């Protein structure tokens, strides 16, 4: 009896019988992507984390569970040896930021049981040298506002910008504001650095400046829909478009140059606002919330400076002295000095 012929199998010559497998996934970097995905981070903060973790990842060249305390310490020494963009070495603040990013990520890896031990626990931050005060005195702030008188068409807009900066907003935050973020009494800061979103109440002079500016926008025929940018460029090539960080920075530098002020930039107005709030008696917790600073260590720079100012004012009042100049030099009140001299002369004559 004849058997049935089996069905033939055809194999193409030169072709693999089994399709090639996909390249293995980079599990180590997937952990970073998961970390960034599950954290509630502002976009700019997420980019900073990603950049710093990638820098370490490319330097270490090993799985996360194999990273040791010694690796972290060697990486810190590596950062200390790197040059900065301006020349010299990286600042302690920049290095500490990278260390804090690693600490946060490795803590998360440990909690998720992706690694058995946290290799960053014993790593200490660099000690940063005390930074000099960066607040402006009253005369310097007044000089910036006086410079607005020569701004021509942009004066009404520039006044609104300077008022917002004087309320502690960062230049980037001022640039990002839309018209809907101003409700007539306060501005709503969204997408801020390090997740420092919040509501900032405005002083009457700031409200007046913003209302005048919005009325000017309407008269100019510019967009005033809720989603339109609050501050717009007035340059020929980008008129009516959002004014960027650089435009705000240049504005403050131009006002400073006109007033012959040195080393003045937008962020110094933020320092001035925070210091002034505490110096005028606002509770530190409330002042910290108003300027949207979460770190007690960072805010201490402002509160300590405010205490120094109040201490000198109390000392001067106690001894009948006038206020000090911008360098902290004691300036005697001439009327008090005259009275003291007259008193001394009288005593001398009585002795004679």
**Domain at 217, CATH number:** 1.10.443.10
Over 80: is that where the pLDDT of 352 sits? no
CB burial of 156-185 (b: ≥16 within 10 Å; e: otherwise) equals: bbbbbbbbbbbbbbbbbbbbbbbbebbeee
Query: What is the predicted pLDDT for the residue at 346?
Result: 40
The secondary structure of the chain in percent helix, strand, coil, rounded to multiples of 5, reads: 55, 5, 40
**Is 328 within a domain?**
no
Q: How many domains in the chain?
A: 2
Domain with 40 in it = 27-111
Per-residue pLDDT averaged across 28-55, rounded? Answer: 90
pLDDT number for residue 16: 52
The Cα–Cα gap between 57 and 36 comes to 15
Is residue 228 domain-shared with residue 90, that is, in the same domain?
no
What percentage of the chain reaches a pLDDT higher than 90? 61
Residue 258: what pLDDT?
93
Using 50, 70 and 90 to split pLDDT, how confident is the model at 8?
A: low
Are 75 and 203 within one domain?
Answer: no
Residue 101 has pLDDT above 50, yes or no: yes
Whether 296 shows a pLDDT value over 50: the answer reads yes
CB 57, CB 75: distance < 8 Å: no
Which three-class secondary structure state does DSSP give residue 105? helix
Residue at 47 is within a domain: yes
Mark whether 236 and 172 lie in a shared domain.
yes
Per-residue pLDDT tens over the stretch 106-162 = 999 999 999 999 999 999 988 876 666 688 999 999 999 999 999 999 999 999 999
In a domain, 104, yes or no: yes
196 within 8 A of 293, measured Cβ to Cβ? yes
16 in any annotated domain: no
The total of other beta-carbon atoms located within 10 Å of residue 264's CB is: 20
Residues facing residue 89 across a β-bridge: 83
Say what the pLDDT of residue 87 is: 79
DSSP string, 196-209: --EEEE--HHHHHH
Residue 107 shares a structural domain with residue 175: no
Let me know whether 219 and 305 are in one domain.
yes
**131 belongs to a structural domain:** no
Residues 150, 90 share a domain: no
Residues 168 and 42 in one domain: no
pLDDT tens figures, 305-317 = 888 888 888 898 8
Range with top average pLDDT, 3-7, 24-28, 79-83: 79-83
For residue 349, the model assigns a pLDDT of 41
- Tens-place pLDDT, residues 53-69: 999 999 999 999 999 99
Rounded distance between C-alpha atoms, residue 225 and residue 268, angstroms: 32
Tell me whether residue 344 is in a domain.
no
Q: How confident is the model at residue 321 (pLDDT cuts 50, 70, 90)?
A: confident
Tell whether 279 is covered by a domain: yes
Q: Are residues 85 and 151 in the same domain?
A: no
Find the mean pLDDT for residues 87-95.
87
The residue among 76, 122, 117 whose CA lies nearest residue 99 is: 76
Q: 224 and 166, same structural domain?
A: yes
Tell me what pLDDT residue 6 has.
64
The whole-number average pLDDT for the span 284-292 is 92
Same domain, 287 and 174: yes
pTM above threshold 0.75: no
Is residue 245 situated within a structural domain?
A: yes
User: Are 83 and 225 found together in one domain?
Assistant: no
Residue with tokens 């981070």, as numbered in its chain: 41
239 & 91 share domain: no
Q: What is the CATH number of the domain that holds 85?
A: 1.10.150
pLDDT at 324 over 70: no
């Amino acid at each position: 009896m004849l058997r049935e012929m089996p069905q033939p199998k055809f194999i193409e010559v030169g072709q693999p019988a089994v399709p090639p497998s996909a390249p293995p996934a980079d599990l180590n970097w997937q952990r970073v992507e998961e970390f960034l995905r599950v954290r509630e981070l502002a976009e700019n903060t997420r980019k900073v984390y990603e950049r710093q973790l990638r820098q370490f990842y490319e330097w270490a060249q090993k799985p996360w569970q194999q990273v040791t305390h010694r690796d972290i310490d060697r990486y810190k020494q590596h950062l200390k040896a790197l040059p900065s963009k301006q020349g010299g070495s990286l600042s302690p603040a920049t290095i500490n930021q990278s260390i804090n990013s690693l600490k946060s990520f490795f803590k998360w890896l440990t909690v998720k049981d992706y690694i058995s031990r946290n290799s960053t626990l014993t790593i200490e931050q660099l000690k940063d040298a005390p930074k000099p005060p960066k607040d402006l005195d009253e005369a310097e702030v007044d000089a910036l506002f006086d410079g607005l008188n020569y701004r021509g068409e942009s004066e009404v807009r520039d006044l609104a910008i300077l008022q917002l900066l004087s309320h502690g907003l960062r230049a980037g935050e001022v640039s990002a504001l839309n018209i809907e973020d101003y409700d007539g009494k306060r501005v709503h800061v969204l997408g801020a650095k390090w997740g420092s979103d919040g509501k900032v109440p405005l002083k009457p002079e700031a409200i007046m400046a913003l209302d005048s500016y919005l009325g000017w926008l309407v008269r100019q025929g510019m967009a005033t829909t809720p989603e339109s940018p609050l501050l717009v460029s007035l340059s020929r090539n980008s008129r009516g478009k959002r004014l960027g960080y650089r435009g705000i920075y240049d504005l403050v530098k131009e006002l400073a140059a006109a007033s012959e002020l040195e080393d003045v930039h937008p962020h110094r107005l933020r320092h001035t606002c925070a210091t002034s709030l505490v110096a005028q008696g606002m509770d530190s917790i409330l002042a910290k919330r108003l300027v949207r600073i979460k770190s007690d260590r960072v805010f201490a720079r402002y509160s300590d400076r405010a205490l120094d100012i109040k201490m000198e004012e109390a000392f001067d009042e106690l001894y009948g002295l006038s206020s000090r100049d911008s360098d902290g030099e004691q300036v005697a009140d001439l009327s008090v000095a005259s009275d003291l001299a007259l008193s001394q002369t009288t005593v001398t004559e009585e002795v004679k």
